[in-house]
Amino acid sequence: MATTTTSPTQFAFLLRILHWLMAACLLAMLFIGVSMVTSVGNYHQLLAIHRPLGISILILALIRLVTRLMNRTPALPPTVPPSERMIMKLSEFAMYALFIALPLIGWAMLSAGNYPIVMFGSVHLPPILAPQPMLYATLRKTHTILAYALFLAFLAHMSGVLFHTWIVRDHFLSRMLPWTVRAKGRRAGEI
């Protein structure tokens, strides 16, 4: 593992921007999704946002994955015990997997359900599966379950980072803040 002296103090700028942009999109998406499926009057308008926003998230997630793999990441502070390191790695992996899987399943589900995949105006995407009713029903359920999983992962992620930042006070959040935070600013006692 890289030592603290050679590793960057923050994630790459593009990654930090993508993190917050995607956080906003995903949170909006989760709320739109859960609201749309129980709404009669707003269903159509919410769905009209849900589809293109989902594809936007897929594109952002792929850019983010490549950027993440191409850049060095800041070391975890020593306040993170090894057991927690493993959980953090697994949850990061799971969240990236969900960012990509959820829109792909949505796209596949609409394809299997024989729906046109309308983005906006006359712009639409090709189907990625042949129409198959039973598969549609399965993918539709999977889409919901994974969305709930992502929402729970988001709550756990947010709670964990805030715990480190507010209670352990190891400047955990500064690794991902969009603005530049210098290492020399991280003095003992400073929050």
Partner 1 sequence: MTESEANQGFGAPPPLPMGAVIARLAGIGLLVVVIAGLFLYVGGWLTPHALTPAALVDTFEHINGVQSGFRRNHAKGVCVTGYFESNGQGATLSRAQVFQQGRVPVVGRFALAGGQPFAADTSHDVRSLALLFKTADGEEWRTGMINIPVFPVNKPQDFHDFLVATSPDPKTGKVDGAAVGAFLSKHPETAAALKILGSGTPTSGFSDSSYYGLNAFRFVNAKGEDTPVRWWINPDLTAAPPSVETTDKNYLFDQVIAQIHSGPLRWHLIVIVGQPGDPTAEAASMWPADRQQIDVGTVTISTVESEDTSPTRDINFDPLVLPDGIRASDDPLLSTRSAAYSQSLTRRDGERKIPSAISTAEVQK
Interacting residue with partner 1 among 45, 59, 70, 89 (CB under 8 A): 45
Q: Give me the least distance between CB of 147 and partner 1, in Å please.
A: 10
Tell me the two tokens of residue 100: 């990509």
Residue 160: CA count within 13 A, CB half-sphere: 15
2 DSSP 8-state letter: -
Interacting residue with partner 1 among 7, 71, 114, 180 (CB under 8 A): 114
Interacting residue with partner 1 among 40, 69, 179, 182 (CB under 8 A): 40
The CB-based long-range contact list for 151-159 (8 Å cut-off, 24+ gap) reads: 151/30, 153/91, 153/94, 153/95, 153/98, 154/26, 154/27, 154/30, 154/95, 156/91, 157/91, 157/95
Q: Give me the least distance between CB of 63 and partner 1, in Å please.
A: 26
Give CA–CA dist 99/147, Å, rounded: 10
Q: Which residue has the tokens 């955990």?
A: 172
Interacting residue with partner 1 among 20, 169, 173, 178 (CB under 8 A): 169
Q: Is 162 in the site for partner 1 (CB under 8 A)?
A: yes
Residues of the shown chain interacting with partner 1 in the complex, contacts defined by CB under 8 A = 4, 30-31, 34-35, 37-45, 47, 77-79, 81, 113-116, 118, 121-122, 124, 126, 131, 133-134, 136-138, 140-141, 151, 155, 158-159, 162-163, 166-171, 183, 186-191
